[in-house]
Chains A and B, each alone.
Chain A
Amino acid sequence: MNEILKIRLKTIARGIMITDFKSLIKMLSFIFVVSVFLYFNYFIFYKIFVFLLRTEEGIGYSIAQRLTSIMFSIFFLMLFMSSIITSITTFFRTPELEFLFTTPIKTEKIFFIKLLENGIFASWATMILSIPLMFAIGNAFEFGGFFIFKAIILFISMVFIAVSFGLAIVFFFSEFFRKHSLGTIIIVIAIALLSVLAVVFFMKSPDLFNLPRNANLYNVEKYIASLEVEQFKYLPSGIIINMIFDKSQQNSNITNILLLFAYIISSIFLTIISMNLYKNKYISYEKTILKSSIHANRMNYPTFFKNSRIALLMQKDMLAFLRDPSQWGQSATFLLLLVFYGISVVRSPIYFKSPFYTYILAFANLGFSTYIMATLSVRFIFPLISLEGRTFSLIRSSINVRDYFNAKIVFNFLMISVLGQVLVIGTNAFLNIDNVVVIVSVAVTFIISFGITIINTGIGAILADFTETNPSKIASGFGGIVSAITSLAYIGICLGILSTPTRTYFEYTFKKIPFNNMYFLYAIIFVFALTVLLFTLLYIAGLNSLKKRNV
């Protein structure tokens, strides 16, 4: 174990080692971008909590607690889903495994290293949001210096529980359906998870804003009390939130510690079972069963595209994606979860559909949709150029690199734009939002799709790693983090620009303060200008980087 761990640490150290002026600049830029991003997140969370805690009626404390609880529930579900997604590649498809399994290293040690890797791959995206959140909670609620230490320990426990449960699900299903292909197993896992989610979803009605507009004082007090009930309180995230907010009720505290302990013990138990199954699972994991049973040529495309190299490259990307179960399986799972998100917006309580909340929801929906577009882009678009691997030399020698780069941009833009528009238009239609907001949302989503595409394709070209075959590993590497942070910062700036006319529009709706639709147009022009600037810079840098690449 020590030897493999040492190799890992050495690899990380050499990856970040400053050897020349260029690597110094690269490292300093990375530290600067990450620090700014973390501080910005912390600042936003802190301001929200401080604002809520200042309200005198006590509702602020309850809402802050409820929001934290919801965020932790989302983090836990994201960790769990990510673990399922990354474990297939990490435990079965990495080329290093073939080397390790021919050496006398014990299977348990290989398993442990892969478990650690899987935990990191599955949790890094959640980590960059949750660390500033925990600092913000600690400072806003004045929990003291020990709090961060406690919160980090609890968070690591949550990661461990999510990762081991996710892994156990993959191992369980692949054991049960051992005669079936990886594609079938992924479909079965996705259906099983969605069935569980559907049951929970339809049994539990959303109640965060479930307060009638004509409620009396008794109803309001009852509502405030209900807010303090944590979301999914028996999930590890709910238990951890209870422990973080520690209301010093001895019994409740002991119950929470026991529940968390039970989860940890179950996770260890599941991990041991998975570890014992691992060797046999690896040697019976048959890569060749993935070979396509369709022998027809899928590279023939309609006559009017015959002379388009861009269409040919897009066709190739589409086929490669659809024939890789780890790629389409992961994206299908994400897309189905988004369908649930859409349904949950539609099912929001009737009181919630007052015009004020509807506009807030429309804006929040735009923010959430673009956030989802950004995270999906980092996972699926950013690694695309790296995944060309050695075939990039074939592409470079036979096709104009500009055509290749353009094809990537068009393909990625179509994917991300369709996803974003479906989310935004679909939910807005159900919310009966007026046409001005719908048009603004559609226009902004279109522009942001373009921005996110060029960020992930451009940085994907600049920081391409043609030696890595694991898309999750590519997405969680240095380039992936830079891409994620740039995308999120870009979305933050765009939403910041849009927030001013949106607020004025709300005021116009309720207080009849004069509003000119041109305010929206100016904001859109700002967002467009920012996107054009970003596009120009990243297009030139990405293209030049590809032209200079040696594979």
Chain B
Amino acid sequence: MEEKAKTSLKIENLTKNYNKTTAVKNLSLSLEGKDIFGFIGPNGAGKTTTIKCIAGLLSHQSGVISINGKDSKLFGDLSKKRIGYVPDTPFLYDKLTGREFLYFVGRIYGMKEADIEKEIEFYSKQMEFSDYMDSRTEEYSHGMKQRIVIASAFIHNPDILLVDEPMVGLDPKSSRIVKDLFKEGAKENRILFISTHTLSLAEELCTKIGIMDKGSLVYFGSISELKDKIKKENLEDIFLEITSKNE
């Protein structure tokens, strides 16, 4: 049986300017299937801009973003099936129920009804939202919305999942559920690209991390390599040391 080619995400010299301000400067990195990548950095470092460029929500001035070897600029709308995106502020149609929203997303991605039902069943158990998924989303709390949005990003089985600040506003139980889902999700041939301020999340989950500061990627590699390099055990101390150098 022919084995499916490994998923890859390659960014070369990505630069994004907003007028005279450079948000991302010559960013280069490379990831492949099963990688859980933690994208960390202070506020305004350029993390969300990078994620939006990969998701095709922002144009960039120079550089190439390749997904599975193909320049993302050449992607048509249908190629977006390979990507799942969880924004920092969850968007849901407030007059729909959680189930209806997931069903809607499944249909948009061209899934068969039976498959959608199966996936909804699976994620509702995995993420524990069965109790409320038949209520309108306007009644949900932030954490409830976030769980539905994360499930909607997984439902079509994307190769690359871009997640922007997944832990903001989640209670400990919801955080645990989301972390478990990410661990499970990366077992398949999938890249998880997670932007976060929660260093413990990066430490617990990520196989690789990237530290952004003032638009530049100041470190890219594994956490253990970084700890060896800086000679410190605590990721928080390392992070503060690296980012304070640029001040």
Contact = CB atoms under 8 A, between A and B. Distances in A.
Contacts of A102: 55-57, 80, 83, 85
Given A14-B136, A98-B91, A289-B19, A103 B55 contact: no
Interface stretch (A113-121, A278-286, A451-459): A278-286
A103 B108 contact: yes
Contacts of A284: 58-59
Contacts of A101: 56-57
Contacts of B59: 280, 283-284
A286 B57 CA distance: 10
B109 A104 contact: yes
A98 B48 CA distance: 13
A286 B138 CA distance: 29
A134 to B, nearest CB: 32
Given A7-B104, A105-B77, A289-B18, A15 B95 contact: yes
Given A3-B108, A467-B138, A286 B19 contact: yes
Contacts of B104: 3, 7
A95 B91 contact: yes
B105 interface: yes
A29 interface: no
A179 B81 CA distance: 32
Nearest to B110: A104
A103 B105 contact: yes
Range for the number of chain A residues in contact with chain B: 20 to 34
A104 B77 contact: yes
Contacts of B93: 7, 11, 96
A333 to B, nearest CB: 24
A98 to B, nearest CB: 6
Interface string A82-124: 0000000000000110110111111100000000000000000
B94 interface: yes
Contacts of A14: 95, 136
A250 interface: no
A96 B91 CA distance: 7
Interface in A219-245: none
B107 interface: yes
Contact of A104 (B58, B78, B87, B95): B78
A103 B111 CA distance: 13
B235 interface: no
Indicate the member of B18, B81, B105, B110 with the most A CB atoms within 10 Å.
B18
A103 B18 contact: no
Contacts of A316: none
Contacts of A10: 95-96, 100
Interface in B124-159: 136, 138
Contacts of A98: 57, 87, 91
A196 to B, nearest CB: 29
A106 to B, nearest CB: 5
Interface residues of B, number: 32
Interface string B12-37: 00000011010100000000000000
B234 interface: no
A8 to B, nearest CB: 9
Nearest to A283: B59
B96 A107 contact: no
Interface string A458-493: 000000000100000000000000000000000000
A55 interface: no
B200 interface: no
A292 interface: no
Given A101-B57, A284-B59, A95 B95 contact: no
Nearest to B153: A102
B224 interface: no
A288 B18 contact: yes
B198 interface: no
Contacts of B19: 179, 181, 286, 289
B18 A95 contact: no
A11 B56 contact: no
B62 interface: no
Nearest to A107: B77
A14 to B, nearest CB: 4
B43 interface: no
Contacts of A286: 18-19, 58
Nearest to B136: A14
Contacts of B136: 14
A103 B57 contact: no
Contact of A105 (B23, B108, B138): B108
Interface string B51-94: 00001111100000000000000000111110101010101011
Nearest to B17: A286
Contacts of A179: 19
A101 B75 CA distance: 13
Nearest to A12: B95
A3 B107 contact: yes
A284 B87 CA distance: 18
Most buried by B among A3, A14, A96, A103: A103
B18 A283 contact: no
Contacts of B109: 103-104
Nearest to B106: A3
B67 to A, nearest CB: 13
Q: Which 6 A-B pairs have the closest CB atoms?
A: A14-B95, A102-B85, A11-B95, A283-B59, A284-B59, A99-B91
Given A104-B109, A104-B110, A106-B77, 8 more contacts: A101-B56, A101-B57, A181-B19, A280-B59, A283-B56, A283-B57, A284-B59, A286-B18
Interface of A: 3, 7, 10-11, 14-15, 95-96, 98-99, 101-107, 179, 181, 280, 283-284, 286, 288-289, 467
